Protein backbone atom coordinates (compact mmCIF):
# COMPACT_ATOMS: atom_id res chain seq x y z
CA UNK A 1 0.00 0.00 0.00
CA UNK A 2 1.18 3.52 -0.74
CA UNK A 3 2.55 5.46 2.29
CA UNK A 4 0.26 8.41 1.55
CA UNK A 5 -2.87 6.25 1.74
CA UNK A 6 -1.56 4.64 4.95
CA UNK A 7 -1.05 8.11 6.43
CA UNK A 8 -4.55 9.18 5.37
CA UNK A 9 -6.16 6.11 6.91
CA UNK A 10 -4.11 6.44 10.10
CA UNK A 11 -4.98 10.15 10.33
CA UNK A 12 -8.70 9.42 9.98
CA UNK A 13 -8.49 6.76 12.68
CA UNK A 14 -6.68 9.15 15.04
CA UNK A 15 -9.19 11.93 14.37
CA UNK A 16 -12.04 9.49 14.96
CA UNK A 17 -10.48 8.23 18.19
CA UNK A 18 -10.05 11.81 19.40
CA UNK A 19 -13.68 12.70 18.73
CA UNK A 20 -14.88 9.47 20.34
CA UNK A 21 -12.83 10.27 23.43
CA UNK A 22 -14.14 13.85 23.60
CA UNK A 23 -17.73 12.67 23.18
CA UNK A 24 -17.38 10.00 25.85
CA UNK A 25 -15.66 12.41 28.21
CA UNK A 26 -18.43 14.96 27.69
CA UNK A 27 -21.06 12.32 28.38
CA UNK A 28 -19.37 11.43 31.65
CA UNK A 29 -18.45 14.92 32.88
CA UNK A 30 -21.13 17.38 31.80
CA UNK A 31 -23.51 18.29 34.62
CA UNK A 32 -27.03 17.74 33.30
CA UNK A 33 -28.94 15.77 30.69
CA UNK A 34 -29.43 18.55 28.18
CA UNK A 35 -25.70 19.28 28.05
CA UNK A 36 -24.80 15.59 28.05
CA UNK A 37 -26.74 15.10 24.83
CA UNK A 38 -24.08 16.97 22.86
CA UNK A 39 -21.31 14.47 23.61
CA UNK A 40 -22.78 11.39 22.00
CA UNK A 41 -24.76 13.15 19.28
CA UNK A 42 -22.13 15.49 17.94
CA UNK A 43 -18.57 14.48 18.80
CA UNK A 44 -19.13 10.74 18.89
CA UNK A 45 -21.02 10.79 15.60
CA UNK A 46 -18.10 12.61 13.97
CA UNK A 47 -15.66 10.16 15.55
CA UNK A 48 -17.38 7.00 14.39
CA UNK A 49 -17.98 8.58 10.98
CA UNK A 50 -14.26 9.23 10.61
CA UNK A 51 -13.38 5.67 11.59
CA UNK A 52 -15.94 4.26 9.16
CA UNK A 53 -14.55 6.42 6.33
CA UNK A 54 -11.06 5.13 7.20
CA UNK A 55 -12.37 1.57 7.01
CA UNK A 56 -13.99 2.22 3.62
CA UNK A 57 -10.73 3.67 2.31
CA UNK A 58 -8.76 0.72 3.66
CA UNK A 59 -10.94 -1.83 1.88
CA UNK A 60 -10.94 0.24 -1.31
CA UNK A 61 -7.18 0.88 -1.40
CA UNK A 62 -5.83 -2.40 0.05
CA UNK A 63 -8.35 -5.00 -1.04
CA UNK A 64 -9.48 -3.22 -4.17
CA UNK A 65 -13.17 -3.58 -3.38
CA UNK A 66 -15.73 -1.06 -2.23
CA UNK A 67 -17.31 -1.99 1.09
CA UNK A 68 -20.95 -0.95 1.32
CA UNK A 69 -21.31 -2.02 4.97
CA UNK A 70 -19.52 1.01 6.39
CA UNK A 71 -21.51 3.35 4.18
CA UNK A 72 -24.79 1.85 5.40
CA UNK A 73 -23.68 2.11 9.05
CA UNK A 74 -22.67 5.75 8.53
CA UNK A 75 -26.01 6.64 6.95
CA UNK A 76 -27.87 4.86 9.74
CA UNK A 77 -25.90 6.68 12.46
CA UNK A 78 -26.25 10.09 10.84
CA UNK A 79 -30.01 9.58 10.56
CA UNK A 80 -30.70 8.11 13.99
CA UNK A 81 -28.41 10.16 16.28
CA UNK A 82 -30.24 13.49 15.82
CA UNK A 83 -33.66 11.84 16.07
CA UNK A 84 -32.79 10.02 19.29
CA UNK A 85 -31.28 13.18 20.80
CA UNK A 86 -34.42 15.12 19.88
CA UNK A 87 -36.65 12.50 21.50
CA UNK A 88 -34.54 12.42 24.68
CA UNK A 89 -34.64 16.23 24.90
CA UNK A 90 -38.43 16.27 24.40
CA UNK A 91 -38.89 13.61 27.09
CA UNK A 92 -36.69 15.60 29.47
CA UNK A 93 -38.72 18.76 28.89
CA UNK A 94 -41.97 16.84 29.34
CA UNK A 95 -40.87 15.32 32.66
CA UNK A 96 -39.29 18.48 34.14
CA UNK A 97 -41.78 21.21 35.05
CA UNK A 98 -38.93 23.52 36.09
CA UNK A 99 -37.33 23.24 32.66
CA UNK A 100 -40.67 23.79 30.93
CA UNK A 101 -41.42 26.99 32.87
CA UNK A 102 -38.04 28.50 31.90
CA UNK A 103 -38.72 28.09 28.16
CA UNK A 104 -40.36 30.83 26.10
CA UNK A 105 -43.92 30.32 24.99
CA UNK A 106 -44.71 28.48 21.77
CA UNK A 107 -47.69 30.62 20.80
CA UNK A 108 -49.96 27.59 20.59
CA UNK A 109 -52.14 25.51 22.86
CA UNK A 110 -49.43 22.90 23.40
CA UNK A 111 -46.04 23.38 25.02
CA UNK A 112 -42.54 22.46 23.93
CA UNK A 113 -42.99 18.80 24.73
CA UNK A 114 -46.16 18.68 22.57
CA UNK A 115 -48.41 17.98 25.49
CA UNK A 116 -51.27 20.22 26.59
CA UNK A 117 -50.30 21.78 29.90
CA UNK A 118 -53.97 21.96 30.95
CA UNK A 119 -54.22 18.18 31.03
CA UNK A 120 -56.52 17.71 28.05
CA–centroid distance for 72 within its chain? 16
Give a yes or no: residue 84 inside a domain: yes
Could you give the number of structural domains in the chain? 1
Is residue 118 included in any domain, yes or no? no
Asked whether residue 111 is assigned to any structural domain, the reply reads no
Residue 120 has what pLDDT?
A: 46
For position 58, what pLDDT does the model report? 93
How many CB atoms lie under 10 A from the CB of residue 43? 20
Predicted model pTM: 0.74
* Inside any domain, residue 115: no
Percent of the chain with pLDDT over 90: 29
- Where is average pLDDT lowest: 37-41, 62-66, 73-77, 116-120? 116-120
CB 88 within 8 Å of CB 39:
no
DSSP, collapsed to helix, strand or coil, labels residue 19 as: helix
Query: Could you list the residue range(s) of the whole structural domain that residue 42 is in?
Result: 3-99
Query: Does 35 score more than 70 pLDDT?
Result: yes
> What whole-number distance in Å separates Cα of residue 9 and Cα of residue 23?
21
- Can you tell me the mean pLDDT for 34-59? 88
Amino acid sequence: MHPLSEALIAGLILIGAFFLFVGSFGLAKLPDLMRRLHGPTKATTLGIGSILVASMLYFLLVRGQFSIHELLITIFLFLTAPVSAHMIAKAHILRSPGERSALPGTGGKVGWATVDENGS
